[in-house]
Homo-oligomer: A and B are copies of this chain.
Amino acid sequence: MQWELNSDRPVYVQLIEQIQAGIISGYYKPGDKLPSVRDLAAEATVNPNTMQKALSELERTGLIYTNRTSGRYITSDEVMIKKLKGQSAKDQIMEFLDKMKLLGFNSEEIIALIKEIMNNTE
């Protein structure tokens, strides 16, 4: 997994988001075993405590579960993952639209700009 962290926001929050994105996109598949806390921390060049914090939170939401000594696993509940994918997409879009409207763009302008950028970066 490829990690992209910056200091804009708490690292553990960014870890949560990126692991979640990994599950949603299918990089981590339902039932998969996750690398250990220490390995994940090393991968992301982050302190194990920070990774632990992120994983605990993901466990709290039910997206992963722990077998005390054999490791952590992605949930096998594919419905849950699909729901999360839909909700995440919706959240991202709503947040994006709010920001764009705050900048003074209307719906048509937003669509037009997105298409333009999609074509320029295809």
Chain A interface (Cβ within 8 Å of chain B)? 8-9, 13, 18, 21, 24-26, 85, 88-90, 92-94, 96-97, 99-100, 102-105, 107, 110-111, 113-115, 117-118, 121
A25 to B24, CA, bound (A): 35
Is there an interface contact between B104 and A85, defined as CB atoms closer than 8 Å? yes
- Cβ contacts under 8 Å, A121 to chain B: 94
A16 to B116, CA, bound (A): 28
List 16 extra interface pairs beyond A94-B117, A107-B118, CB under 8 A: A8-B9, A8-B13, A9-B9, A21-B99, A21-B102, A21-B103, A25-B102, A89-B113, A90-B113, A93-B96, A93-B114, A93-B117, A94-B121, A96-B96, A111-B115, A114-B114
When C-beta atoms are compared, the residue in chain B nearest to A120 turns out to be: B90
